[in-house]
Structure 1
Amino acid sequence: MGSSTSSIPESRSTGAAYTKKLYFDPNADSPEGYDYSITDAELRETLSELVDVTERIVEVRYYKHPLSSMQLTDGILHHAFIVFETNAWWWSIEKNDEGVTMQRSTDFDSVCEKYRRSDRQTSIGNGVEMVKKASGSTTVMELIDHLWEGDYLNQEYNFETYNCQHFADLIYEFI
């Protein structure tokens, strides 16, 4: 099913098209490989086919970094994202005005220091900073179900009312 440009909602903060999709990279440490663009309707079935959904999340971490190279992380304005660990993988999940991104890798830096296989945009000497961490208490499938039941992919990004920090807070608390 094709879609016209007029049917794609725009973010109120930047005018960028919010996709209402999950970008999933199952091998974020690889320079090559597939990534997936998954709709809310496809979320549970597609991820169940791509990953071991029975994996238990053993730890969750909340990270932040400046929105640009000109900004300090001590400011209120920062990007927030979640990194979690299972016995086999490191994962990250985050939301911005494009949609929700989930990355998986055996290499921690590939999900913490990178976003969609590119270095995160941070200032020199003031990059990614861990804010807090806790033990996990859920499985990957429970997280996927939570994303679907909470309609997270369809909730449009809004700089003031529903941004990356709100999303990260909700995911951290759930895990």
Structure 2
Amino acid sequence: MTHSNKMGKVLSDSGLQLLLGRAQASINEVSEMFMSKFGSIRISGGESWKDGIYFVTEAAEACGRAYMIPVSQFLQMMHQLTDPSDTVLRVQRFQTAVEGVPIIPTAMFNHQFVVFETQGCWWWSIEKNAEGLTLQRSRDVKAVRRRYRQQPRPEEVLLEEKNGTCDIRELVSFLYSERELTKIYHAFVSNCQHFVVDVYKHLTRSQEEKTLILEYSERYSRKVRYYL
């Protein structure tokens, strides 16, 4: 190897080390920021979690009516506040940044939620975080896609989209029978992504899979049978 080639290799190696060092510093900075800001809540999830579901019935209104529905009243109130036979037409899965942390599609540092449209001309969103489960409804898709509990959310990115294969009744049955209302948030074993994947799959399941789940739900509880 000539002297000039050796010098070029040294400079190249030095440049690579510098880039790697800067990248590692950035990763460390983001990790420290994330842990200092969210660590105490998102690792355990128990401090802020509330069983049940927070339901915003008109998300487009600045002071839209919202209900914190406890587990004991979930089936009854959902029966009163929604049309159980309202058919799901289209389902979308979105990703947003966690505040202060950039979206990295392959990383765990992002928040996910599901948006779906029903035949009754409603748009809905459903999601899970350290506060609990949140269900939102509006005639305006932007109200559920770009707002969370009446507050703006970070810009969203569409991950996937499919046609729906069920109705509101089946979603309610799924949430109740699978005990999603009481599964406390945990960053590693029960987070927003776990919840969203399960909900998305349920809303877009084939007819055969859907039938099996409904049969299980009917056996699980008399309350579910009453709602159906």
Considering fraction of residues, name the structure with more strand.
Answer: 1
Aligned to 1:147: 175
Q: Secondary structure at the match of 1:158?
A: coil
* Match status 1:134 vs 2:165: no
* Equivalent position amino acid for 2:113 in 1: F
Segments ≥4 residues shifted beyond 4 Å: none
1:104-147 per-residue CA deviation (whole Å, 9 max, x = no partner) reads: 00000100011011101x2xxxx200100100000101100110
Alignment counterpart, residue 114 of structure 2, candidates 77, 82, 90: 82
The aligned runs of 1:149-164 (5 Å cut-off) are 149-164=177-192
CA radius of gyration, larger in: 2
CA apart distance, 1:69: 3.3
Match of 1:33 in 2: 64
Equivalent in 199, 202, 214 of residue 174 of structure 1: 202
Give the Å deviation of 1:12.
Answer: 4.2
Aligned-residue sequence identity (percent) comes to 30
Letter in 2 for 1:21: G
CA distance in 2 between counterparts of 1:60 and 1:135 reads 6
- Partners of 2:187 and 2:193 lie apart in 1 by 10
Unmatched 5+ residue regions in structure 1? 1-9
Q: Determine if contact 1:26/1:103 at 8 Å carries over to the other structure.
A: yes
Q: Deviations over 1:3-58 (max 9, x none)?
A: xxxxxxx8643663210120001100012232100112211110110111110000
Distance 1:117 1:149 in 2: 29
SS at 2:48's partner residue? coil
The question of whether the paired residues in 2 share the 8 Å contact of 1:63 and 1:83 is answered with: yes
Structure 2: how far apart are the matches of 1:157 and 1:51? 26
Q: What are the equivalent positions in structure 2 for 1:1-175 lying under 5 Å apart?
A: 12-13=43-44, 16-76=47-107, 77-87=109-119, 88-120=121-153, 122=154, 127-175=155-203
How many pairs were matched up? 161
More helix by share: 2
The structure whose RCO (Cα within 8 Å, separation 6+) is larger is 1
2:56 alignment partner AA: D
TM-score (ref. length: structure 1): 0.87
Contact 1:65/1:73, CA 8 A, preserved across alignment: no
Please tell me whether the aligned partners of residues 11 and 156 of structure 1 are also in contact (alpha carbons under 8 angstroms).
Answer: no
The letter for the 2-side match of 1:161 is V
